[in-house]
Structure 1
Amino acid sequence: MTAGPPLPTPHAAPPLPAPERTKHRLLELLKRHGPQTVQDLAGHLGVSVPGARRHLLDLQDQGLIEARTERPGGRGRPQHVFLLTDRGEAAFPKTYSLLCLDVLRHVQTLFGEGAALQVLDARSAELAGQLAAELPDNLAPEERVRAFAAWLTGMGYDAVTEQDEDGTWFIVERNCPNLTVARQYPELCRSELGLFVQVLGLPVTRETRIACGQGSCRYRIGS
């Protein structure tokens, strides 16, 4: 009896190229140990200082790390250290959405169905109050729309402004940083719409919504 052809073996995912593996290890070291000098990082990795510096510059260009000057232990000569940016921190797993879901679920269980929206509306009102200093009343409407879109981008929404042929302005959010929560609690999206109205002082209509499977959250500004 002859043996049949060998069974195919599953293909493992190709390993990362060596430079990318080194960059990944650099990020892990900064995550675990906090700010580090290039000499410290090179020693941990077993590479030359110039080699480590090249990888660090690449990571800086990607916005994943930043450099600052500090004194070790508050004393001694200042030295340059590298640390993760918010974007670099975001590359590591987080459970913020699960925590938020748990909190909202308990809020509704303890205080009733409308309680989650009340909490989220209170948050929106607080954010609108904070934005009042950045968006003074004397701003022209189009300047206010652009400034608000820039603030939204800083909050992770990747927002852009558009203007129709008839002069109508739109804010388009191309990312939803709270998508997991928004899909289970539409109150979050209702509260966000209220924030738009409070900040812009104009009627706002949401035409599309990422949480409903569409490609963006598109807000029409004005009637």
Structure 2
Amino acid sequence: MSSDNLEIYGWSPRAPADRILMTLKMQGALTSAQTGQKLGITGEAARQQLVKLSEDGLVDEERRSAGRGRPATYWHLTEKGQARFPDSHAALTVDLLRSVRDVLGQEALDTVIGAREASTQAQYEVAMAGCRSLRERVIKLAELRSAEGYMAAAEEDQEGGMLLIENHCPICAAATFCQGFCRAEKAIFENILGAGTRVERMEHIVKGGRRCTYRIRETG
């Protein structure tokens, strides 16, 4: 991913430090040389920025052995670094969800999630009306999800299917409190991508993954 492509994910970082944070968010752990290559700067310039970010507690380093020679130093976001990416009104959202459940019951909370699912699916169906192939639908879905803050991308996998990759979850606190949101979103994907399409979640942020990844393929 080139530095120009950072802007398609709903956040357009300009400061060098923010661009590095975005790159690590999107790509996972990288060496300083790899980080510099992604951003079009030297590895030393990237290393200097990474050291500053480490001093601020936003990134940390780990050593990885690659056989012979000295272990390589990889940099990754810390929990504090992850928190730089917005979780939409996290505390307020969780408080409201807890109040709905405690006052009105789990069934009422399920109704709220179902209403959100129906509304989101209707919006996606309108936006994807002109998409014909599975590839077109998944690419459009990634665009829609990115516009909502999920930093999503669509890729072809090695088995002829597609991958939907979401590098951020803007409702992570809500989804952690109630995983009905995650189940509902997967159901939306299955419905809008059409009959005969299988959606399998391979990675899950709520369960400790760096990102959410869905493998999508046609079954018939």
**TM-score under structure 1 length normalisation:** 0.54
Residue 140 (structure 1) aligned with residue 124 (structure 2): no
- Which of 71, 96, 101 does residue 108 from structure 1 map onto? 101
Mapped partners of 1:94, 1:145: distance in 2: 24
1:207 paired with 2:210, answer no
Of residues 149, 152, 156 in structure 1, which corresponds to 2:145?
A: 152
- In our comparison, the structure showing a higher alpha carbon Rg is 1
1:162 aligns with 2:155: yes
| Contact 2:167 2:212 (8 Å CA) reproduced | yes
1:164–1:102 CA distance, 2 compared to 1 (3 A):
same
Q: RMSD over aligned Cα, in angstroms?
A: 2.4
In structure 1, stretches of 5+ residues that fail to align are: 1-19, 21-90
Query: Which structure 2 residues correspond to residues 154-193 of structure 1 after superposition, within 5 A?
Result: 154-193=147-186
> Is residue 152–residue 164 contact of structure 2 (8 Å, CA) maintained in 1?
yes
For residues 173-209 of structure 1, give each alpha carbon's deviation from its aligned partner in whole angstroms, at most 9, with x where no partner exists.
Answer: 0111111222221111111111211221233111111
Query: What SS does the corresponding residue of 2:209 show, helix, strand or coil?
Result: coil
- Which residue type is aligned with residue 150 of structure 1? E
Structure 2 unaligned segments of length 5 or more: list them.
Answer: 1-14, 16-83
198 and 156 in structure 1: CA distance in 2 versus 1, 3 angstrom threshold: same
* 2:187 aligned with 1:194: yes
In structure 2, the partner of 1:129 is 122
TM-score, with normalisation over the residues of structure 2? 0.55
Q: Secondary structure at the match of 1:205?
A: strand
**For 2:106, what is the secondary structure of its paired residue?**
coil
2:95 and 2:192 map into 1 onto residues whose CA distance is 29
Partner of 1:30: none
- For the 8 Å contact 1:208–1:216, the answer to whether it is kept is yes
Aligned partner of 1:216: which letter? Answer: R
- 2:164·2:215 contact (CA, 8 Å) conserved in 1? yes
Deviation at 1:94, TM superposition (A): 8.6
Could you say which structure has the greater relative contact order, defined with CA pairs below 8 angstroms and 6 or more residues apart? Answer: 2
Contact residue 139 and residue 154 of structure 2 kept, 8 A: yes
**Is this contact kept in 2: 1:121–1:194, CA < 8 A?**
no
Cα distance in 2, alignment partners of residues 94 and 207 from structure 1: 22
Count of equivalent residues: 134
The answer (yes or no) to whether the contact 2:155–2:164 under 8 Å persists in 1 is: yes
- For residue 116 of structure 1, report the CA deviation from its aligned partner: 2.0
Match of 2:120, SS state, is helix
What is the identity, as a one-letter code, of the residue corresponding to 1:132? Answer: E
Q: 1:207 to 1:141 in 2, by over 3 A?
A: same
Contact 1:117–1:188 (8 Å) recurs in 2: no
Partner deviation per Cα, 1:147-188 (whole Å, 9 max, x = no partner): 010110111101111222220111010111111222221111
Residue type of the alignment partner of 1:164: D
| Alpha-carbon shift at residue 218 of structure 1 (Å) | 0.7
Q: 1:117 to 1:220 in 2, by over 3 A?
A: farther
* Pairing 1:78-97 to 2, within 5 Å after superposition: 96-97=89-90
